Amino acid sequence: MVRTLTALGLALVAASPALAQEINLYSARHYDTDLRIYENFTAQTGIRVNLIEGAGEQLMERILTEGENSPADLYVTVDGGRLHQAVEAGIFQPVHSDILDSRIPENFRHPEDLWFGLSARARVIFTRKGERPEWLNDYEDLADPRLEGEICIRSSSSIYNISLLAELIERLGDDAAQDWAQGVVDNLARQPQGGDRDQLRALAADECSVAVSNTYYWGALAASDNPDDVAVADAVEFFYPNQGTDAEPGSGAHVNISGAGVVVNAPNRDNAIRFLEYLVSDEAQAIFADSNNEFPIVPGVEIHGPVAPYTEFRNSGVNVAIYGINAAEATEIYDRVGFP
C-alpha cells in the first residue's frame, strides 16, 4: 500500500502506475508532521505525493529489487552514512539545480549532486546544568583521563557514532582517531545501552557526568508531554564542541543530516526535482526543523521550539559524504579498541 497525500487530507490507495502529476516518495523519515509539507506542496503545485515508508535499508533494497521498473522518484533517509550506501548502490542520479545549489551549503550536498541535505542535527556534549568542567570544550577532550568512568554514549554500532568517528578520521587522521576511540572506551561509565535519550536520562540520574547525544533528542525531551522527560531536559545542558574563539576558531561541531536524492530510474524526474526545490523553501524548512527539533539546512530560516535559541554555532564544514566514505575504517577502529 502507498499513502497518497492531498491538500484535502490523507488517504490510503493501492500503488498505481506513474501519472504525469505525481511523485513516488520512498522515505525513511517517520514523522507524521512531515505530511504537512507534502500536503502544502500538492496544494501549491497540483502534484500528488505518494508516500512509501520503511526502514532505510529496506527501502533501498526495494528500489534495487524493482530495478529499471521501480516507481521510486525520490529516496529520503537519515545520516550521511546511509546516503553514501545509496550512492554506492547506484540508486541516485545527478541533479543540477541552481535553487538547490544556492540554498544548501556545499558541505550538506553531495559533491556530484547525487543527494541534498534537508535538515540537520548536531552531535554534542552534555553535562548536568552548571557542572561542565572548564577544560571540557572539544570532542578530543572526551578521551581525557580526567573523565575516566564518566561518559555515557550509545554503542559503536550506532550510525551516529560511526559518522562522528568518520569525521574525526578525516580531521585528525587514523592514528589519532583510534587514540580518541580508545580514550572514550577507557572513560565509559557503563556498557553502552539504549539510544540518545537514554544517555541523557542516565546523565540526569547521576550515572555519569558527561553524555553524547544529538541535539534533537534533547529537544524532544524538552517538548514532551511527559513531566519526567521535561525534568531530564531541565537537568542537563549541552554545548557545541570545538568552537574555539573569534581569534582562534575551532574545527567546529559535527553535524549530520537527513537528505534525499532523485532515483536513477525516476519516472517523474521533473516533478521530483520540483519537490526537492520546494523542500528547501523557507516554508518547508521551518516545518522540517520544528516538527522534529532539528535545524534547517538553509541558513537564516526562522524556527521555534526548544532548539531555536541554539542555532548559532560553528559547524565543521566537513562534507557529509565523508561520513560514508570513512565509515568502514571507523567501524574497524571501534572493533580494534573494543568499543562495545
Q: Are 266 and 74 in contact (CB under 8 A)?
A: yes
Average pLDDT over every residue of 184-193: 98
Q: Does domain 122-250+325-337 have CATH number 3.30.70.120?
A: no
What residue spans define the domains of the chain? 2-120+256-302, 122-250+325-337
Question: Regarding predicted confidence, which is higher, 264 or 13?
Answer: 264
Check residue 16 and give its pLDDT: 40
Amino acid letter, 167:
E
pLDDT of residue 10: 36
User: Averaged over 143-147, what is the pLDDT?
Assistant: 98
**Is 2-120+256-302 CATH 2.60.120.590?**
no
Q: Do domains 2-120+256-302 and 122-250+325-337 have the same CATH topology?
A: yes
Task: Report pLDDT digits (tens) over 224-269.
Answer: 999 999 999 999 999 999 999 999 999 999 999 999 999 999 999 9
Question: What pLDDT is attached to residue 20?
Answer: 55
**Taking 70 as the threshold, does the pLDDT of residue 11 lie above it?**
no
Q: Confidence class of residue 191 from pLDDT cuts 50, 70 and 90?
A: very high
Residue 89: what are its φ and ψ, rounded to 5°? -80, -5
Check whether 121 has a pLDDT greater than 60: yes
Q: What is the mean pLDDT of residues 319-332?
A: 97
Q: Torsion-angle region of residue 155: left (phi > 0), alpha (psi -120 to 50) or beta? A: beta
Averaged confidence pLDDT in the chain: 93
Would you say 239 and 252 are in contact if contact means Cβ atoms under 8 Å apart? no
CA distances to 14, 206, 281 from 316, in Å: 44, 30, 24
pLDDT in tens, 274-304: 999 999 999 999 998 998 899 999 999 999 9
